[in-house]
Amino acid sequence: AQKVTQAQTEISVVEKEDVTLDCVYETRDTTYYLFWYKQPPSGELVFLIRRNSFDEQNEISGRYSWNFQKSTSSFNFTITASQVVDSAVYFCALSEVYNFNKFYFGSGTKLNVKP
């Protein structure tokens, strides 16, 4: 069965600190997708990144970076020099490649960035 675990329920940091959000997943599939979404206080989920299981290259987008390690089944998300606008709930998710309807979301990590 597919499962995504985000063990950090809530994290608080001071602005400009770096913060890493952990995501560990379980799947028997050899091919799958991993995602990160941001949910600001307004509620709408915003897509951040999708990673194919074949591509273990880390990715950097501005202050955001993602570390995908199949050996540990982890897909961690780091925000460098955090800002107050980064305050949100962040969800990690896994989807099956051959069943496009199934997303498995983690329970989310609430990030509080204080000025």
Partner 1 sequence: SQTIHQWPATLVQPVGSPLSLECTVEGTSNPNLYWYRQAAGRGLQLLFYSVGIGQISSEVPQNLSASRPQDRQFILSSKKLLLSDSGFYLCAWSRDAKNIQYFGAGTRLSVL
Binding residues (CB under 8 A) for partner 1: these are 33, 35, 37, 42-47, 50, 91, 95, 97, 100-103, 105-108
Q: Measured from the CB of residue 60, what is the shortest distance to partner 1 in angstroms?
A: 19
Q: Measured from the CB of residue 101, what is the shortest distance to partner 1 in angstroms?
A: 5
CB 95 within 8 A of CB 104: yes
Q: Which is nearer to partner 1, 79 or 90 (CB)?
A: 90
Name the amino acid, one letter, at 50. Answer: R
At residue 43, φ and ψ (nearest 5 deg) are: 110, -25
Q: Which is nearer to partner 1, 35 or 75 (CB)?
A: 35
Q: Measured from the CB of residue 7, what is the shortest distance to partner 1 in angstroms?
A: 13
Q: Measured from the CB of residue 109, what is the shortest distance to partner 1 in angstroms?
A: 10
User: What are the tokens at 99?
Assistant: 């069943």
Q: Which is nearer to partner 1, 20 or 107 (CB)?
A: 107
How many of the other CB atoms lie within 10 Å of CB of 110? Answer: 14
Q: State how far the Cα of 78 lies from the Cα of 12, in Å rounded to an integer.
A: 14
Q: State how far the Cα of 66 lies from the Cα of 80, in Å rounded to an integer.
A: 11
Q: Which is nearer to partner 1, 48 or 80 (CB)?
A: 48
